[in-house]
């Protein structure tokens, strides 16, 4: 008997066999329902989550190209429908479910994306009333940002011009659905705001007609919401029908349920304004008439007063008051002078009683005697201090070193430093000396030898 040779497989062959078996026995593409777990991205942009249920866990992968198509944000614990196929990674012997489409279970992907976007933007404060500005009451220049071929632009135009024909409308056409529509709407909003110094728009209406949630989705994109929030021009959002609510509606300064109602919300009714003006004109006319009558009555009352009947009466009254004041002032001044005169006479009589000429004679004699005594004392002091001054001068002269110069002595100084030469060490050969003699005479000499 010939012994049958045993076949040996490599690891790569086994993994390849498993890959072939799975591909041949599993549907090429199928849907799995499960709970997401481990949803996190890598620098490549790919995701490697797992799908799990009560009985097990299935490793998955979702490439960046598929991730970019998602409208909602997947989260751990979210129950989803995942569409894809099983693939084996031969080098590592691992199999994964490759997801190319992901939908939330129980609610549509767009509805979930809408709810997630609302929660996130609301948390940032984009929907707060404090950020919204008031729509001008009487706009004269209105911009419309919508599709130029849709019915919405005609509805907006008709509703505005029928109510407020004096306004000027400016159309800025943009696509309102399809791929890239949201980015073009946002770019249009920013461009109009950038040029508004020249455009001078009072209001900007953004919107479109009705449609499905997918048709209206461009107005649920974050780019459009942030462009509306950043707009310096007041924005009215008019998207879809009564039942439709978009994120653009929530961010805008004012929401209109339809394009037609956007025109109604943007401008006043001309006939209502004219009626208000007529009513205001009547009120002003009535008020002016009443004020004129009141002023007329006041004028008549003033003209009937005594001032206007006899205008010089007030002048004569003031003249009489001046005459009375002059008379009163003259009397008081005379009384004042009389009082001063009486006091002067009284003081004179008091002085006469003291006989001032005799008092002055006695005081003059006393002053002369005191002056003689003062002269004697002064002369005595001067003589005393002159003697003391002479004595001190003699003593000072005896101590003066220059007094010996009269007896033939001299004083020598080193010219270099001005010091008196008392020892040989005080000069050096070559130094100049100045010798002082009597009578302030000086001799200059040079030291030749010590």
Q: How far apart are CA 133 and CA 253, in angstroms?
A: 6
Neighbouring CB atoms inside 10 A of 174's CB total 22
The two three-digit tokens of residue 371, written as one number: 């002056």
| 220 CB burial (10 A radius; 0-12, 13-18, 19+) | buried
Tokens of 279: 């009513």
CA distance 370 to 376: 10
Query: How much is the pLDDT for 288?
Result: 93
Sign of CA dihedral 136, 138, 142, 145: positive
What does the pLDDT average to over 91-120?
78
Lowest mean pLDDT of 71-85, 104-118, 125-139, name the range: 104-118
∠ at Cα 182 (178, 183), nearest 5°? 115
Q: Which of 120-134, 142-156, 255-269, 345-359 has the weakest average pLDDT?
A: 345-359
Alpha-carbon distances, residue 315 vs 199, 235, 393, 415 (angstroms):
69, 71, 94, 102
pLDDT-based confidence at 348, cuts 50/70/90? confident
At residue 234, the pLDDT reads 96
Query: Going by DSSP bridges, is the β-strand pair 94-104/57-61 parallel, antiparallel, or unpaired?
Result: parallel
- Strand, helix or coil at 420? strand
Contact 32/56 with Cβ under 8 angstroms?
Answer: no
Angle, to 10 degrees, between the axis of helix 222-230 and the axis of helix 181-194?
A: 10
H or E element at residue 59: strand 57-61
Tell me how crowded residue 140 is: count the other CB atoms within 10 A of its CB. 14
Domain spanning 114-129+140-268, CATH architecture: 3-Layer(aba) Sandwich (3.40)
CA angle 377, 379, 383 (to 5 degrees): 120
Percent pLDDT > 90 in the chain is 30
- pLDDT attached to residue 106: 62
pLDDT grade, residue 354 (50/70/90)? low
Judged by average pLDDT, the poorest of 231-235, 343-347, 396-400 is 396-400
pLDDT tens sequence across 294-316: 998 888 887 777 666 677 777 77
**Which class in CATH covers the domain with range 11-106?**
mainly beta
Model confidence pLDDT, tens digit, residues 218-262: 998 899 999 999 999 999 999 988 787 899 999 999 999 899 999
Task: Say if residue 2's pLDDT is above 70.
Answer: no
* Strand-pair partners of 433: 414, 445
Q: Which residues pair with 203 in a beta bridge?
A: 142
Percentage of the chain beyond pLDDT 70 is: 94
């Amino acid at each position: 008997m010939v012994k049958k040779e045993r076949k040996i497989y490599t690891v790569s062959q086994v993994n390849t066999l498993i890959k072939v078996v799975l591909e041949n026995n599993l549907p090429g593409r199928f849907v799995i329902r499960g709970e997401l777990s481990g949803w996190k991205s890598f620098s490549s942009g790919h995701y490697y989550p797992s799908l799990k249920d009560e009985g097990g866990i299935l490793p998955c992968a979702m490439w960046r190209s598929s991730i970019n198509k998602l409208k909602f944000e997947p989260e751990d614990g979210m129950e989803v429908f995942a569409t894809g196929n099983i693939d084996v990674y031969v080098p590592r012997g691992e199999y994964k479910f490759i997801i190319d489409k992901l939908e939330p279970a129980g609610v549509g992907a767009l509805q979930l994306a809408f709810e997630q976007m609302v929660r996130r933007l609301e948390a940032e404060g984009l929907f707060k009333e404090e950020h919204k500005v008031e729509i001008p009451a009487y706009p004269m220049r209105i911009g419309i940002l919508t599709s130029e071929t849709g019915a919405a632009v005609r509805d907006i135009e008709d509703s505005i011009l029928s109510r407020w024909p004096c306004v000027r409308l400016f159309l800025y056409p943009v696509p309102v659905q399809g791929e890239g529509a949201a980015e073009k709407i946002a770019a249009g909003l920013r461009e109009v705001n950038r040029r508004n110094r020249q455009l001078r728009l009072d209001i900007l209406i953004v919107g479109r007609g009705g449609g499905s949630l997918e048709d209206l989705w461009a107005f649920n994109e974050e780019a459009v919401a942030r462009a509306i929030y950043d707009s310096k021009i007041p924005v009215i959002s008019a998207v879809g029908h009564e039942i439709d609510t978009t994120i653009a509606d929530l961010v805008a300064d004012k929401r209109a349920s339809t394009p037609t109602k956007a025109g109604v919300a943007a401008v006043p009714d001309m006939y209502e304004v004219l009626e208000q003006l007529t009513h205001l004109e009547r009120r002003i006319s009535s008020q002016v008439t009443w004020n004129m009558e009141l002023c007329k009555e006041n004028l008549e009352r003033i003209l009937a007063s005594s001032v206007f009947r006899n205008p010089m009466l007030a002048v004569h009254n003031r003249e009489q008051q001046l005459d009375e004041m002059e008379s009163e002032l003259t009397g008081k001044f005379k009384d004042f002078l009389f009082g001063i005169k009486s006091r002067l006479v009284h003081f004179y009589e008091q002085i006469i009683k003291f006989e001032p000429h005799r008092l002055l004679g006695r005081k003059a004699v006393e002053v002369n005697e005191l002056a003689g005594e003062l002269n004697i004392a002064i002369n005595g002091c001067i003589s005393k201090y002159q003697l003391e001054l002479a004595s001190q001068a003699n003593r000072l002269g005896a101590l003066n070193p220059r007094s010996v110069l009269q007896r033939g002595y001299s004083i020598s100084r080193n010219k270099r430093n001005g010091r008196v030469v008392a020892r040989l060490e005080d000069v050096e050969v070559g130094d100049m000396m100045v010798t002082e003699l009597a009578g302030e005479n000086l001799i200059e000499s040079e030291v030749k030898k010590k």
